[in-house]
Amino acid sequence: MKSVKSVRNLLRVRDLSPEEILHVFTRTEEIRTGPDLFRDRLSRGTVGLLFEKASTRTRLSFEAGVHQLGGDTVFMGGDSQLARGETIEDTARVMSAYLDMIVIRTFGHDRIERFARAATVPVLNGLTDGHHPCQALSDFSFIRKTTGSLKGTRMVYVGDGNNMAHSLMEGAALLGVHLNLATPPDYAPDPDVFRWTSETARKTGGSVSWVEDPMEAAKGSQVLYTDVWTSMGQESESSVREQAFRGYQINRDLLSVADPDAIVLHCLPAYRGKEITDDVLEGPHSRVFLQAENRLHLQKALMLFCEGKG
């Protein structure tokens, strides 16, 4: 399974070109409709999952995906030697010797960058504080499948300018999507990410913009997206954030200014009654659980791509 020439990392969405992203999306649909054709693509390969943060969808979709492609997984949680002070670089070198690919879920984005520089096998970002590329790529793949296109799609993100927002911004910029973000001023996306995505979007026919008012941002949107107000590691800020994010919610009022056929997405877990109301999450516009299912197919395609087998 190992091949030095084929090693590709995915640490953030912008690590892929628009053409590569669309190639992965095409392969995603082939896997969805004909999974048996790919069941041996990772035969005799072993993928390590190094997770320093809790996970449901990311862990399950990667583990199931690897097994369905004929490979095996090794899971490491908070009990690895990293927790006792072994360096990231030493861990990366040893894991590379044992494994064919590594998926990491960690805190600071610098940790995965250091790991990838020392590793000699593909490294995929299962989530960091800065980016969540697998989720965003899966979501754009799902939007493309659901609406029939991406270029020119009008999308709004309401909530925290967090890792999810950053990856959606990069994907929108590369794929020609018009993305409006509505966050409280003190929780806006990273200025460097905003600068890069704004410049890139001008070249692809898309746009990335920020406003404070969610109702203004959502006007005419075909896709409405939100995420939790308090991400992992920010629990101590929960009460302050709940005050700051009041009004930054996908609800019936926000839906009323969107496109009549708009779809609602959420990367989950959802805190009903906070960033999204129960009636919207369970309503006719919601595609949230089909969106979650798509992670399995997209991540299979992504692993094959990074291994040079897809």
Q: From the candidates 139, 154, 267, 287, give the one annotated as an active-site residue.
A: 267
One-letter amino acid of 29: E
The catalytic position among 27, 41, 59, 105 is 105
Distances (CA, A) of 171 to 63, 138, 203, 227: 25, 10, 13, 16
CA distances from 23 to 61, 151, 153, 187, 305 (A): 20, 15, 19, 34, 9
227 assigned to active site = yes
**CB < 8 Å & 24+ apart, contacts of 138-141:** 138/291, 138/294, 138/295, 138/298, 138/299, 139/168, 139/171, 139/225, 139/265, 139/267, 139/291, 139/294, 140/21, 140/25, 140/171, 140/172, 140/175, 140/177, 141/24, 141/25, 141/28, 141/294, 141/297, 141/298
Mark whether 105 is an active-site residue. yes
Chain centroid to Cα 307, Å, comes to 19
- Whether the Cβ atoms of residue 286 and residue 225 lie closer than 8 Å to each other: no
* Distance (Å, whole) CA 133 – CA 260: 29
* Catalytic residue flag (residue 253): no
Of 27, 68, 135, 285, which is the active-site residue? Answer: 135
Catalytic residue among 68, 100, 227, 266: 227
- d(CA 134, CA 150) in angstroms, rounded, equals 17
Tokens of 147: 């609406």
Catalytic residue among 266, 295, 297, 299: 295
Peptide bond into 260 cis (omega under 30): no
Distance (Å, whole) CA 303 – CA 8: 9
Q: Is the CB of residue 66 less than 8 Å from the CB of residue 306?
A: no
Catalytic residue among 132, 178, 266, 297: 132
To the query of whether residue 299 is one of the catalytic residues in this protein, the response is: no
Whether residue 267 lies in the annotated active site: yes
Would you say 51 and 27 are in contact if contact means Cβ atoms under 8 Å apart?
no
Catalytic residue numbers?
A: 105, 132, 135, 227, 267, 295
